[in-house]
Chain A
Amino acid sequence: MRFRRNKPAVISLCFLAALILLVVLWPWVAPYSWETISDAQFQPPSAKHWFGTDVHGRDLLTRVIFGARVSLLVGVVGAGVAFVIGVAWGAVSGYVGGRIDGMMMRFVDVLYSLPSIIFVIVLLTTLKEGATKWLTSTLGAKAAAQAPMLLLFAGLGAVSWLTMARIVRGQVLALRSRAFVDASRSLGASHARIIWRHILPNVWGIVIVYLTLTVPSVILYESFLSYLGLGIQPPMASWGSLVAEGAGQLNPIRIYWWLVVFPSAMLVTTLLALNFLGDGLRDAFDPKGQI
């Protein structure tokens, strides 16, 4: 109920739903294929190509919508891992405290310190064969072709939960000695119940806010990997790789502005929508709910 009164959140939800619908339906309605090359290179936006065309003469609108798939997936995976592992890890670590807390946090530190580029390279190369085989046997050859992308998702997920764990743990450390926690403990509530009913509701706000920050950082990290050439494989596109490609066109002589403006605008709009949605959700689930 409260959620529906939050106008920005409702609008954002509609926007995201429309975007997902567009991404799913686009292949059936699109006048252009995302990979077919043509002679119409670097066309500015026109009635024919709303977002213009790129170096290969491919329709940018189609590529932006196609790129949404990868970027949204990357964002969802990153946020999902951060949400599930990060929150659980941080909550347990902060709640239990002491030596266990020390060990759990040092584990996070170790993971955080390992060189991430090498980590991604190793993941993409050494595990590729195994992943391909496994996918072929379980889901068939078509899925197996996506093995590098799945591994990329795994790699992005593996690093996305670390800061979340630190933040949640910092909050829980402060919460666990609060009066209401002591009260329910003396009433004989189990630890799991205390964490779930009393501690976590007080951190949802910060969790949701940090999640909405995790989505852009994972998407941007994917764009960084694409910039290094480690991200998704051409001719596929992601918003990150499109932005990176477009950013290369920023120079003092001639700017193919549509190559950077449209992908960036899509990226930012989506992230804005996610934020407003997150805010709305946070208010809706706020235990005190004063606003």
Chain B
Amino acid sequence: MFFLKRLLLLIPLLLVISFLAFILMRLAPGGPFDSDRAPASPEIERAIRAKYRLDEPVLKQYAHYLGDLAKGDLGLSTKYRNHTVNDIIVSALPVSMTLGGLAFFFALVLGIPWGVVMAVQRGQWGDYFWGLLSLLAACIPALVIGPILVLSLAVKAGWFPVALWESPLHVVLPTLTLGLLFAGKVARLVRESTTTTLQSEFITAARAKGLSESEILIKHALRLALLPVVSFSAPMLADLLTGSFVVETIFQIPGLGVFFVNSSLNRDYPLLMGLVLLYAGMLLFLNLLADLLLAKLDPRVKYE
């Protein structure tokens, strides 16, 4: 019931977001057809604006947009004039989802044990050592890690291709670059929440019951320790699945991240709208899943 209600609530929310984004875009100075070289006559510009309905009042444009949206048509990109927005999303989304999904998986599989190990060794040298590594992972930008990985593992060693998106081997370095950053953050969060949970009274109670340490850790403590990770993961996963500009640029990957940035910079209104809706839909849905998961991990969480 809760799930259904929240699911239905997505529609008005998406409408609100689409409206705000629509207005915001038009507030930014410059339009999609401004360029270094204006056409030979102002008439030409007028014709182009008319074709993309840019000469109408903003609200009317929005109404048109909603009308098309209801039919599932996200419109024609103003920059990629030979492509529809639907086309672009269909071609780039699977790429971003693959890369993002792998990076997410990598971040969790690496980050959670990493954090637990730090937590149980808290205050000892192991904690400092792993802590230092996790901080490095969380703090060094992909802009630096990416080229370093490429230069060392691809150009010098030749183990991996330097760029492009062709075979499973091509996926490794981008996944590492993207995943490390998040793995570091997840590790920091897990370390903290595990420490807190291990100190709480019900763990003491469980110890008193004579449960083994590892049982306590996995069956009880980790469950609760994952709460902040779940809250953090929903937006993180939405970010990852919709692509990363920097990683896609370094590795020349045909994903969505580049379109996000370029459509903003080119004022490609229809494309940016499509991407915002996609991202918002994904984010809202994942947050909903996260809320459900919170309740599942910790029975005391209730949304009445």
Contact = CB atoms under 8 A, between A and B. Distances in A.
A141 to B, nearest CB: 24
A288 B200 CA distance: 9
A206 B17 contact: no
B138 A170 contact: no
A118 B24 contact: yes
A177 B235 contact: no
A16 interface: no
Contacts of B191: 209
Given A247-B144, A264-B144, A122 B24 contact: yes
A28 B29 CA distance: 41
| Size category, B interface | 35 or more
A166 to B, nearest CB: 5
Contact of A250 (B151, B156, B276): B151
Given A174-B301, A224-B246, A272-B135, A109 B284 contact: yes
Nearest to B282: A113
B235 A163 contact: yes
Interface string A139-175: 0000000000000000000000011001101110110
Contact of B264 (A97, A115, A206, A209): A115
B144 A216 contact: no
Given A97-B304, A252-B155, A291-B122, A121 B264 contact: yes
Interface residues of A, number: 63
A121 B141 CA distance: 23
Interface stretch (B90-98, B211-219, B224-232): B224-232
A172 to B, nearest CB: 10
Interface string A223-266: 11001100000000000100110110011100000001000100
Interface stretch (A34-42, A98-106, A183-191): A98-106
A249 B195 CA distance: 41
B171 to A, nearest CB: 21
A205 B232 contact: no
B143 interface: yes
Given A8-B128, A243-B141, A264-B140, A114 B24 contact: yes
Contacts of B29: 121, 125-126
Nearest to A230: B265
Interface in B132-176: 132, 135-136, 138-141, 143-144, 147-148, 151, 155-156
Given A97-B304, A228-B261, A171 B227 contact: yes
Contacts of A15: none
A213 B143 contact: no
Given A174-B301, A247-B143, A118 B227 contact: no
Interface string B267-294: 0000010011001100110010010001
Contact of B301 (A8, A122, A173, A250): A173
Given A170-B228, A213-B188, A117 B261 contact: yes
A110 interface: yes
Contacts of B302: 97, 173, 177
B178 to A, nearest CB: 13
A225 to B, nearest CB: 11
A140 to B, nearest CB: 27
Interface of A: 8, 97-98, 101-102, 105-106, 109-110, 112-115, 117-119, 121-122, 125-126, 162-163, 166-167, 169-171, 173-174, 177-178, 202, 205-206, 209-210, 212-213, 216, 220, 223-224, 227-228, 240, 243-244, 246-247, 250-252, 260, 264, 267-268, 271-272, 275, 282, 288, 290-291
30 contacts: A97-B302, A98-B303, A98-B304, A101-B303, A102-B303, A109-B283, A112-B283, A113-B276, A114-B24, A115-B21, A115-B272, A118-B25, A118-B272, A122-B27, A163-B235, A167-B228, A167-B231, A170-B228, A174-B300, A210-B189, A210-B228, A212-B188, A246-B144, A250-B144, A252-B156, A268-B140, A272-B132, A275-B135, A282-B192, A291-B122
